[in-house]
Amino acid sequence: MGDVLSWAGGGLVIVGVALSVLGAVGVLRFPDFYTRIHAASITDTGGASLVLLGLCLIAGLSLVTLKLVFVWVFVMLTTPVAANALANAAFSSGHKPRIGAFQIVRTDERRKTPRGTDQP
Amino acid sequence: MIALPPSFDANLAIDIVLLVMLLVVAGAIVRTRNLLAAIILFGIYSLVSAVWLVVMDAPDVAFTEAVVGAGISTIVLLGAILLTRGEAEKTDWRRLAAPALLCVAVGGLLVYAAMGLPALGDAASPANAHVGRAYLEATPRDIGIPNMVTAVLASYRGFDTLGETAVIFAAGIGVALMLGFGPRASLAPPPAVIGDHHVVLRVSAKFLIPLIALFAFYVQFHGDLGAGGGFQAGVIMAAAIILHALVFGLRETMAAVPPRVARGAASFGVLLYAGVGVACMVNGGGFLDYDFLFPPAIEKQIPGWLLGDPDHAHHWGQHFGIMLIELGVLLTVAATMVTIFYGFAGRTVDAARQEAKR
């Protein structure tokens, strides 16, 4: 039983690491800032979750598992928020995405200009 | 399929990967002209070194490297960069020749000296054979706490640590003398914005800041048992306060932790540390000799069943002494970091106000 758990845990760790590497490739290859953040944050959260889950399985039920769960909660709280804050800052400073016809309308100007018009 | 050499060592492979990463990051720091990128790279460098120190079985040092190098110094440098330009000037290579030669010479000397170092984990090396071994053997008998790093740091070498705490305090005073204790004028409330952009950041920060503060206390009081202690806990606590300032604004933070309180806590920490030492002297021991922390009259009041085995010496004085001085270290480190942050942030606010007046 313990052997099966450690093999499953090791597999999850490898999958998580592969996901993180894919995210790194995405950060390098994607065309603009928003898609890069997308690649970085999703694979970072998912990859770290898989690695931590795998480590939990390897460690078995002990205090280490609890600490790993705490780390997982922290990662789940911080990484998406950091990505959100980055994208938010870029969007507020008027950084335009390269893909898609996308009109930036600031929240405080939204009432004046209906969505879809070309007026800034 | 690559045939692994017979003596393939996973630790060695990790060491090599981490050291190559350090080298690459250091090269990138030297090459970049963007100061913001350089600061972020410095943080990455510290984080990789921390990982490497964990691999080298030095969790206490790794912890300090992670919280100080990757955490607080990044924030302080980011505060400093707001006061200057984001780009480094391009320097003529002839002006760089002499410093480069000096660096190469010093680096070469260090490499040459490193060849004379004993092997890692060598039991016969001076560090492991003489005083280090004496500490390892005497700690269970003298101090009675499991983490020998804390035992050496806080008890055997308590006087050195008092000096370090005083150095941090002095650094805080130095920065405050140059930059001030915060903004000169009182801060205006932030203008009301329609549509809060940062609601996600605010909500999660509100949830995270108490958790970070709680973790600081865990690190503080767990220092006797595992890696951690006053220095790391103080920096984590300061990080929680600075995160509050970054998300909710300097005004809110200065209402919660006024600069005057930070100043007072920084000096009180050093005072508490030195006061414990003086209390030991008053009770008949040496300076910071925690065995004499409790006067005999109080020691008699402790009920016998709390002391455990009567044949073994109890270590109440050591436990409480280490706890008190670590508390002093926590106060001084956290308050000094917050004071330094207020200094930088206040300068930035003042500069922005002057710009707006013009």
**Given B197, B207, B211, which is nearest A88 (Cβ)?**
B197
Q: Is residue A13 part of a domain?
A: yes
- Chain A's closest residue to B211, CA to CA, is A74
pLDDT, tens digit, 9 for 90 and up, residues B83-142: 877 777 777 888 888 999 999 999 999 999 998 888 877 777 777 778 878 888 888 877
Q: Is residue A53 part of a domain?
A: yes
List the pLDDT tens digit at each of the 120 positions of chain A.
668 888 899 999 999 999 999 999 999 998 888 889 999 998 889 999 999 999 998 888 888 899 899 999 999 989 999 999 888 888 888 787 776 655 555 555 554 444 444 444
Cβ neighbors of B126 (< 8 A, separation 6 or more) are B118
Chain A residue numbers touching B205 (CB-CB < 8 A):
81
- The pLDDT of residue A15 is 94
- The pLDDT of residue A101 is 59
- Print the domain residue range for A24: 2-94
pTM of the predicted protein model: 0.84
- The pLDDT of residue B154 is 84
Q: Is residue A86 part of a domain?
A: yes
Q: Which of B230, B220, B238 is nearest to B328 (CA)?
A: B230
Least confident of B260-264, B291-295, B298-302: B298-302
Q: Tell me, yes or no, if A69 comes closer than 8 A to chain B by beta carbon.
A: no
Q: What is the overall mean pLDDT for chain B?
A: 85
Q: What's the number of domains chain A is made of?
A: 1
Q: Is residue A119 part of a domain?
A: no
pLDDT, tens digit, 9 for 90 and up, residues B139-177: 887 777 888 888 888 888 889 999 999 999 999 999 889
Size of interface A-B (CB pairs under 8 A): 27
CA dihedral B244, B228, B217, B336 (to 10 degrees): -50
Q: Best of A45, A78, A81, A92 to disrupt the B interface by mutation (most B CBs within 10 Å)?
A: A81
Q: Is residue A105 part of a domain?
A: no
Supply the ipTM of this predicted assembly.
Answer: 0.74
Chain A residue numbers touching B248 (CB-CB < 8 A):
none
> Cβ separation of A84 and B200 shorter than 8 Å?
yes
Burial of A106 from C-beta contacts in 10 A (0-12 / 13-18 / 19+): middle
pLDDT, tens digit, 9 for 90 and up, residues A11-39: 999 999 999 999 999 999 988 888 899 99
Structure tokens at B257: 């932790």
Q: Best of B203, B204, B214 to disrupt the A interface by mutation (most A CBs within 10 Å)?
A: B204
pLDDT-based confidence at residue B306 (cuts at 50, 70, 90): low
Domain ranges of chain B: 1-89, 145-188+196-358
pLDDT-based confidence at residue B190 (cuts at 50, 70, 90): low
CA distance A17 to A5: 18
- Chain B's closest residue to A82, CA to CA, is B201
Q: Tell me, yes or no, if A77 comes closer than 8 A to chain B by beta carbon.
A: yes
How far from B38 is each of B78, B118, B170, CA to CA, in Å? 10, 34, 27
Q: What is the DSSP letter of A120?
A: -
Q: Is residue A90 part of a domain?
A: yes
- The pLDDT of residue B268 is 95
Chain A residue numbers touching B10 (CB-CB < 8 A):
none
Q: Tell me, yes or no, if A78 comes closer than 8 A to chain B by beta carbon.
A: yes
Q: Is residue A106 part of a domain?
A: no
